Amino acid sequence: MKRKHLLELHEQPWMPSLLRDAATGYLEVLSRLLGLHRHLAPVVRETLERSGARRIVDLCSGGGGPMPWIHRELGELGGQVDLLLTDLFPNREAFACRENCDGIQVRMEPVDARAVPEDLTGMRTMANAFHHFRPEEARQILADAAQKSAPLLVMEITDRSWHTVLTSPLIFLLALIFMPMVRPLRIGYLVFTYLIPLVPAILFIDGLVSHLRSYRVDELRAMAESVAVEGYRWEVRRLPLQPGLSATLLCGMPENPESSGGSAAG
Ligand SMILES: C[S@@+](CC[C@H](N)C(=O)[O-])C[C@H]1O[C@@H](n2cnc3c(N)ncnc32)[C@H](O)[C@@H]1O
């Protein structure tokens, strides 16, 4: 199946923030229910240890996704690291809920993952969002991390396969079931889920489009190889999480994080 860069509704600037926040809030619930934090925390921890970074700068955080829970797991495993949540369209309610909670900070101003501000030093993470970017933009994100010697960990559970595409209609049903678990829950989320089911419809369309937009391991390898920067290494792999669910991981790491000019240290 060829990659198709169709339009995702929740990332459109005209999308009302109530609907976008309901969608990204629901994705946070889904991450939690799937236990992504338990599967991905060891990967984040290992990458963090290699990088020597003391801060994680999460890009495209949405409603938080798995990162706040991964951060909590890292704390339980004995690691001490700060986490900064950022997004081009910050989910203000969800961010405010997380702010100053056990080493979590938030950036309420928009942060575009294609142009990470200079002051956001540390290890960059991106969960379930790399497929948002066209190949040229995705390459630019990789090149920026490599040129600044910033460690980068991309984690995607979307998958361009017939199986995920054919099971996409389930997303509508799951949204109806789990929407009340979104925190903080706003009355508008329920109105636009049960009275006028716009949010499940957006989640279904965007879920399907996300799968169709996803990059495969070989495509990510080729992209990373095309961004060859001396002293910076790429690794791409697929990690089975549970039956029927895998994550695609792309990790960029300076060969010598200690001498990376502070970008990694954070
Ligand atoms: C599918 S959501 C993933 C959210 C979260 N990381 C998760 O795992 O649930 C993608 C997020 O990327 C954000 N986004 C889209 N384009 C962006 C960009 N250029 N820079 C930063 N964030 C962006 C959207 O606002 C949205 O919150």
Give the domain ranges of the chain: 17-160+213-255
pLDDT for res 261: 43
- Please tell me the distance from the alpha carbon of residue 136 to that of residue 227, in angstroms, as a whole number: 11
pLDDT for res 265: 60
For 238, phi then psi, to 5°, come to -115, 130
Residue 246's pLDDT band (cuts 50, 70, 90): very high
- pLDDT above 70 coverage of the chain, percent: 97
pLDDT for res 266: 67
- Cβ pair 51, 123 in contact under 8 A: yes
Ligand 1 atom nearest to CA at 126: 6
- Cβ pair 120, 86 in contact under 8 A: yes
> Does residue 257 register a pLDDT over 50?
yes
Length of the chain: 266
Q: Is the CB of 30 under 6 A from ligand 1?
A: no
Tell how strand 104-106 and strand 82-85 pair up. Answer: parallel
pLDDT digits (tens, 9 = 90+) for 210-225: 999 999 999 999 999 9
Q: Is the CB of 137 under 6 A from ligand 1?
A: no
pLDDT for res 262: 44
Mutate to test the pocket of ligand 1, among 5, 88, 141 (most ligand atoms within 8 A of CB): 88
Read off the pLDDT of each residue in 189-216 and give the average, rounded to a whole number.
Answer: 98
Q: Is the CB of 15 under 6 A from ligand 1?
A: no
pLDDT for res 210: 98
The secondary element (H helix, E strand) that includes residue 58 is: strand 55-59
Q: Which of 4-18, 41-55, 70-84, 217-231 has the lowest mean pLDDT?
A: 70-84
> Does residue 92 register a pLDDT over 60?
yes
- Cβ pair 19, 202 in contact under 8 A: yes
Read off the pLDDT of each residue in 170-193 and give the average, rounded to a whole number.
Answer: 98
Question: 184 preceded by cis ω (within 30°)?
Answer: yes
Read off the pLDDT of each residue in 197-213 and give the average, rounded to a whole number.
Answer: 98
Strands laid side by side in the 123-127 sheet: 104-106, 82-85, 55-59, 123-127, 152-156, 245-254, 232-242
- CATH fold, domain 17-160+213-255, is Rossmann fold (3.40.50)
> Does residue 64 register a pLDDT over 70?
yes
pLDDT for res 112: 98
Q: Which of 36-50, 108-122, 251-265 has the lowest mean pLDDT?
A: 251-265
Q: What is the DSSP letter of 90?
A: -
Q: Is the CB of 113 under 6 A from ligand 1?
A: yes
pLDDT digits (tens, 9 = 90+) for 46-60: 999 999 999 999 999
SS3 content of the chain, % helix, strand, coil (to 5): 45, 15, 40
List alpha helices for the chain, DSSP H.
Answer: 17-34, 36-51, 67-76, 92-98, 135-147, 162-166, 170-178, 187-190, 198-213, 217-225
Q: Across the chain, what does the average pLDDT equal?
A: 95
> Does residue 2 register a pLDDT over 70?
yes
- Cβ pair 239, 213 in contact under 8 A: no
